[in-house]
Structures are given as structure tokens and as C-alpha cells.
Structure 1
Amino acid sequence: MPDPLDLELARLVSAVGVLAHLSLASSFLGAIGLAVIAEYLWLRRRDEDWLNLAKRFNIIATIFFGVGAAFGTLVEFGLVTIWSNFIAIIGTAIALPFFLELFAFLFEVVFLPLYTFTWGRIKNPWLHWFIGILAAFGGYYSAYNILAVMSSLSIAPPGLQIVNLAAQGKSIAGAITYLATFQNPADAWNIFWWGANVFIFHGILAAVILSWSGVAGVVLYLYLKERKAWQYKLLRLVVPSVAVLTAIEGFVLGHLQGELVLEHDPLKLAALEGMFWSGLKTDPLTGLVAYGNPNAQFWGYYSWPADIRPPDFVYIFYLGFMVGAGILLGILTAGIGLYFLRGEEKCKLTPIVKPLLRPAVAIIPILAALASIGGAVSAETGRYPFILVQTVSGTDGPPMITGVPVGPGGLFNPTLQLSPALAALIILVEVAMPALAGYMVYLAMAKPPKILKRVIEY
């Protein structure tokens, strides 16, 4: 049995690595999306500002893809090493989306360089734009399949069964005592069921919001200093878009995902909402949102045994970071978006918004980062200590929570020994990779004549 310290260090190393990789993936999705949107606007309006922006975001996307792909391989190697039983236990359950993700990755590898190196070299500019669409499709479809896997780890897809081999006196290699398989091979497509798609699009939208909020902060800073036309045009596109996407994320996808948690994982719901009591009690606010009834009753966090409860700090990331920061981000970007769309003279909110422009340079990206981190931690930590979560209604007590345990006999490498010094070194590398990508973007944008003229015809 592994040392408890090894288990906690493994979780920390894995969490930092996944979050760092998600930051790179989010940046790529946001940048390639802005590149094809800007090129489309140039094709429609023949405005050179949009052409230059399309080329810049193409370069930014290429940098984030290159670093992200290399770093993603490193993170995957670490996950397989630390959670070595993972593939053996649930390989059947997650094989299909990983197989499809390979084709999505090929789209990125083939069409992103083609898009980058053919500016001005293809006679039909609409064909070049279509190549960019294919490159973006590869990125977003790759995210779609990876998020399908992550969704299945939170809530088991229909038709999936978890077999306790130990109860049958069996095991795999003497160490693996659980096996996740579909009842019917055709049920493997259920990994893309309706609930998974809610999770998937919620995650993709979060990635775009995070990356575009970072763009909004940087461009707003430049605009307040330089007042250039391209900066104003980009702010009119990005800031209102963040506000609209944040509203969809919270009021539509967030609500649907909350309903799924309510139905399939009541223990996670209790942890997220901070329902720290035992037995059935009313929660007026949650009851009103979930059922339209303030007198609705919910099983409290302490209704389940301590060994299966998620950490009690999850509600801070959910209510404080994801919900709280998300609401503030939506309000702030809505106000600033109206300011740029209407103009300083016509916007009725100008007296309120104008003093907020300078602090918004930092506040917009920070709020987006807090909301994204809160959402990621809420989703990932909510699985602890089970993965591929299933619930069975109880007769006299709370629903039974079942699944594959993360600890000994489950997904963790039983032979792993991870010292604090080694964990600190790994975390340092994980944090350094997004920083390196950001610095490369700065160098590419700060001195484009020397670096980029040989790559793209400006």
C-alpha cells in the first residue's frame, strides 16, 4: 500500500500538470478561433487591420500548439506513470474518444503549419481561410474527445458497468481489482451521451472565455496607452463576446450541468453547495434553483461515510471562484462591451465604466482565471475518491455512491515513491512551460520584422 504522502503528492503533481496543460490548450483554442474570425472579417471588409490580426493570432496559436503538444506528451507520460492502473481498469471505457482524438490531432498537425506558411501564396484567399477552419476544427474536435473522457470520469455513461474483481476472487496482475466495461460493445458510443455533451461544451466555452479574457486585458492595456484603431476594433469584438459567452456558460450550460450533478451524484452536489449537515434538510436557495421549491430537501455532506466524501474545501472553488468570479466577469465585460459598442459619447454607462477601464486590464483576466480554476478544481476534486461515478438509490438512507476508487487497488501506482523534493521539481517544470510559451509569444509579437517576415508575408 502506498504511503499517504505519496498519494497526496501524486494528486498535487497531477493537478498542477493538468491545469498547466489546460492553460496552453485554452490559449491555442482561443488564438486559432480569433485567427479565422479575423481573416473572415478581412475577407468581408478588406480591412488590413483584420488581416494583420489574423496573421498575429495565427502565430500565437502555432506557438501555443507547439509548446502544448510537447508538454501534453510529458503530462500524459506522468499521468500514466503515477496512475499506472488507469488504462488497465478503464481502457475499454475510454478507448473510442482517444482513438478519434488521434485523427483530430492529425488535423492540427497537417493543417496548422499549412495555414501558417501559405499566407499570400494561395490565389484564392477563401481557400486559405478554409484551411484555417480545418486547423481550428482539429483543435476543437481534439478538445471535444478529451473532454468526453473527463466527463465520463465524473458521471458514468449509460451502459457502463464497474466490475469488482476482488469480490469474485479475481484480479489483474495481482494488483488491479476493478474493471470498467460496457455491457455491449456498441454502448461505447454512449460516452458521447447528452450529459457528456453538456460537460464538453461547458469546458470548451470555458477555454475560449479564459483565452479571450487574456486577450482583452492585453489589448485594453495597449489601447489605453496608444489608442490605435486595430485595438479598438479588437476590443469591440472580444469584450462583448466574453460577456455573451459567460452568460451562456452560466445560465444555460452551467444550469444543465448542475441538473446532471443533482441527478447522478448527490454527494458531489452536497460538497459543491456546502451542505454540511447529516440527513435530509431543506436548502431554500438550491431547492428554488433545482426544483423551483424552496422547501426541497437534500442529503447533507455528512450523510455519507468519511472515507468516500470529497474534501470539504470544494465549495470554496465552486461558489467562491467559479460562480462568484464568473458573475463578476460577466457584469464587467457586459458594461465595458457596451461602452465600446455604443461609443463613449452614446453609452449611458460611460460614467460608471470609464473609471473601471484601467483596473479592468488586470481584473478581467484574473476573474476569468479564477472562474476557470474554480470550475476545473470543482470538476476534478468532485470525483475524489471515486472515478466513473455511479449512484444507487437507498431505501432508508442516502443514495449509495459507487465507482472505481482512486487509491490502493484502484488507479494509483502501488509501487510509486514520490519525494517532496522530486514533486517540487516536477511542479516547477509544469509551471515553467506555460510561462515559456507566453514569453515566446511576447518575443514573436515584440519584434515581428526579424522573426516573422521570413515565415509570413506581411
Structure 2
Amino acid sequence: MFRFDIRIKCLYPSLLLPKFMNSLYAPLLVRYVSATGILVHLLLASMFIGTITLAVVSEGIYAYIKDARWLDTAKMFGRVAGIFLGTGAAFGTLVEFGLVTIWSNFVSIMGSALVLPFYIELYAFLFEVIFIVFYEFTWNKLGRGVHLTLGALAAFGAYFSAYNILAVMSSLSMAPPGLMIKQADIGGLISYVAVFQSPTQVFNMYWWGAQVFIWHGMLAATILSWSIVASIYVYKYLHGRDPHHLAILRIMIPTIAVLTAIEGFLLGHDQGELVLSADPLKLAAMEGMFWSGLKVDPLLSFFAFGTTNHAFWGYYTWPASIRPPAFLPFFYLVLMVGLGAAIGGWAAITGLYLLLKREPPTWWFKLGYALGPAAGLASIGGAVTSETGRNPFILVQNLGGNPPTITGVPVSAIYNPTIAVSPLLAAAILLVILAIPGLTAYMLYLATRPRKTGGEP
């Protein structure tokens, strides 16, 4: 009996801790598992968006210049996109199951207030699934224009799906106009219900503030996926000196530079102003304004208002119970802004070389190896800033006042209190989550390795 107890305690370390400590770390473990799953799904979905677009662009170039290598490239990206869609869709089902299980009370809010974009997203997903199948199995069987249209419809489905999901995410960060949050007691489990004042106001989820968030996220997905692909082609070109690989980079790298500029200077600025008005507490956490009360910040004042004398409410103005984590400046300023600026700067300089039909210095070109990892870290920084920055609320509302009153539905109200995992179980779930990208990578290797007939894989 003693040996049995020891084995049990070794297998389940949570049993070695007092119950009150289990209640503290178990929800945290579950949140880490949930966040990891969402980030992996974000990567897979972004890669599908980017690669199906690359397939259509490559086929369009082939239709224009009749170079068979561009057709081979289009076919390769089509296969890659199919793999990302398959694994991404399967993994999305796993993530949705986790959301329903871990954040069970979120379903009530989704059903009462956020259902429209989710419902439309189902049709967008059907666009992806149906047209990617037609696209992949009709090479050289349809006219070029018809086949390109099929690919364009699959790409449209991918972007439209992201559009609706990001509409939900934007509403979770900043409650759209007309949304009312009501306290309720339904079965002792559901304590908050979110409803619109009138049925037509559900379309406010697509209001202009959300549009800034949506397009910012869609461009981020494109930059992430194209940066990963571009870093691979930089490596392939510098080790093989294939002119076709350089031709691909001449399209991708300047496009990344342009998208990054739009992302930072236009959409990023607009979204910063939106956060300033809708959630000044989140802004204080993001910018690292660690003071209490009003204080002038000349640099932020210049970017936000074009002056240097505007005062901002500091992070410590609000009670600790509603403050977002103090680590946000690292994810926002260092990862998202810092690495995003580095990606844009490198892509702009390199793209200028390539557009002038010149090759940049080898040492500079090799910095492109880090383009994909840097974009991945920048995306993680953006996702953590967006999702964690609104903590401890969703459907955040600024009620005004001095300082502004920030409220919403507490995250604790949508968490399933019956969920508890041991570290061993959390590790097992994370292993499954991380195995999916590994399986995807192996499938990509099989789908893109050089063929005996030669040509572009």
C-alpha cells in the first residue's frame, strides 16, 4: 500500500501539494494549455492564408509569362496550402473543444451576442474546403482563368474566415456599441449575459473600430506566413543560386516591406488610438506607464496627438485586481513593435536591392534566415498583447470618469470551475498540441522534397 501511494504521488505531482495550492495553479495550467493551442492554431491558419495566396500569385505569373517553373511553384504551394488547411482545420476542432470545455460559460455569451460572425465563418470555411479541393484536383483539366478563379475563391474563403474570427476577437477586447452586459444567475453557473439592445445592432461587431483590429490581424497573418516562406527561399537561394528562387524573393520581400509599413504606420497607429479611447488601462500596461495618476509622456503624446504635453493615466492608477500583467511591455514593445520594425527595415532595404536587379551583400542577405522566426515571435507578441492585455475582462467597456472606469465580463466568470489538471496531464496535452506542427512539418517535407524529374518541388 505504501509503494502504491508513492507511485501515485510520483505520477500526479499535484497530489503532493495542499488542496489550496491546487486551486491556485490548476486554472493557470489550464490557461497555459489553452493559450498554447490557440497560438499553434494561429500559426497553421496563417500559413494556409499565405500559401494559398502564393499559389494563386504563382499561377497568375505563369499565365502571364508562360514559364513552366512558375506553374511548378504554384502546384507546390497548392499542396502545401492543402496540408495546412487539413491540419489547421483538425487542430481548430481541438481548440474549439477546449474552449467549450475550459471556458464553458463563454458559450452563453457567444450564443447571445457573438453568434453572427461565428455563423458566417462557417460559410467562409466551406469556401476554403470546397474550393481548395477543386483547385488541387483540376490542374491542367480546366481553362487557366477558371482554375485561377477557383484558387482565388479558396483564398477569399481563408481571408473571409479570418475576418469573422477577428471580428469576434475585436469585440472581446472592446465591446461594440449597443452591447449590454447583464448580471444573471442561471443555474448557479452563468453569472453574466451579453445582449444587444436591438437585433440589428449585432452588425456593430463590424464597426470601424473593429475594422482596424480585423485588418491589422489579417495583415499580420500574411506577413507571418510570407516571412516564414521567404526565409526558407533565402536559405535555398544562397545555397543553390537558383535564379527562380531569386525571382520568387523579388516578389515576396518587397511585398513584406509594404505590408509591414501599412501594418505599423497606418493600422498600428489607428489601433493605438482606439485602445487609448476604449481601454486606457490596457494602453498604460502596453506602454509601460508605471506611475499613478496623470503624468505627461512627451513621446507617446507626440505619436497619439501630435503634441508633447498630453498627460496619461498611469498603470498604478487602477486597483491591482483589474490591472493587466506588468510583463506586457516586453511582448508589445520588444517583440511586436521591435521585431516588427526590424522585419520591415530589413525587407525594405533588401527589397530595394532586388527591385533594382541587384543582390544585397551576402552577410546582409543571410540575416533573412531569421525572418521567419522573428515574424513568429512578433506574432506571439501581438497575440499576447491583444489577449492578455484586456485581462481580467472580456467585452471591455470604458465607462468614463477620472480615472476612467474599466469594466466588462470577468474572465473568471467564463472559466469552468470544475476543470483541474495535474502538471503531468497538462504536459501530456501540450505534447499532443505540439505534435501536430511536427506532423505538419513532416508532411510538408514529403510534399515539397525534390522529385526525380527535376524542376521546382
What is the TM-score of this pair, normalised by structure 1?
0.93
Partner of 2:366: 358
Instruction: Give the corresponding residue for 2:13.
Output: none
What's the CA shift for 1:414? 1.5
1:231 and 2:245 aligned: yes
Of 415, 436, 441, which aligns to 1:438? Answer: 441
2:433 partner amino acid: E
Select the residue among 397, 404, 416 that pairs with 1:390.
397
CA shift, 1:88, in A, is: 1.1
Q: Distance in 1 between matches of 2:129 and 2:307?
A: 51
Does the residue aligned with 1:174 lie in a helix, a strand or coil? coil
Q: Which residue of 2 aligns with 1:82?
A: 102
> What SS class does the counterpart of residue 3 from structure 1 fall into?
helix
Match in the other structure for 1:400: 405
> What is the deviation of 1:435?
2.2
Q: Which runs of 5+ in 1 are unaligned?
A: 166-170
1:19-58 alignment, distance < 5 Å:
19-58=39-78
**1:237 partner SS:** helix
Query: Is residue 124–residue 160 contact of structure 2 (8 Å, CA) maintained in 1?
Result: yes
Task: Give the SS at the match of 2:216.
Answer: helix
Deviations 1:246-297 (A, max 9, x none): 0000001101110100010000000000000110111111111111121100
Give SS of 1:177's match: strand
Contact 1:89-1:176 at 8 Å conserved across structures: no
Indicate if the aligned counterparts of 2:46 and 2:222 stay in contact, CA closer than 8 A: yes
The answer for the alignment partner of 2:220 in structure 1 is: 206
CA distance in 2, matches of 1:222, 1:92: 51
Match of 1:261 in 2: 275
* Equivalent residue in structure 2 for 1:59, among 67, 79, 93: 79
Q: Is it true that 1:155 corresponds to 2:178 in the alignment?
A: no
- C-alpha deviation, 1:366, in angstroms: 2.0
Work out whether 1:375 is the aligned partner of 2:382: yes
Give the letter aligned to residue 423 of structure 2.
P
Report the residue type matching 2:436 in the other structure: M
Alignment partners' CA distance in 1, 2:436 and 2:350: 32
* 2:11 corresponds to: none
TM-fit CA distance, 1:448: 4.5
SS in 1 for 2:194: strand
Give the letter aligned to residue 28 of structure 1. Answer: F
CA contact (8 A) 2:172 2:396 kept: yes
Helix, strand or coil for the counterpart of 2:407?
strand
> Partner residue of 2:6?
none
Residue type at the aligned position of 2:371: I
Match of 2:15 in 1: none
2:139 alignment counterpart:
119
Contact 2:132 2:154 in 1 (8 A): yes
Out of 93, 114, 119, the position equivalent to 1:94 is 114
User: In 2, are the aligned partners of 1:90 and 1:181 still within 8 Å (CA)?
Assistant: no
Aligned pairs, number: 436
Structure 2's unaligned 5+ residue stretches are 1-19
Separation in 1 of the partners of 2:209 and 2:113? Answer: 16
Of 136, 147, 164 in structure 2, the residue corresponding to residue 145 of structure 1 is 164
**2:155: which partner in 1?**
136
Asked if the contact 2:30–2:420 (Cα under 8 Å) also holds between the matched residues in 1, the reply is no
Residues 435-458 of structure 1: CA deviation (Å, up to 9, x unaligned): 2212211111115569xx9xxxx9
Aligned partners of 2:110 and 2:120: how far apart in 1? 17
In the alignment, what sits opposite 2:417? 414
What is the match of residue 72 of structure 1? 92
Give me the CA root mean square deviation: 1.7
Percent identical among aligned pairs is: 56
CA distance in 1, matches of 2:97, 2:139: 36
Cα pair 1:287 1:296 within 8 Å, conserved: yes
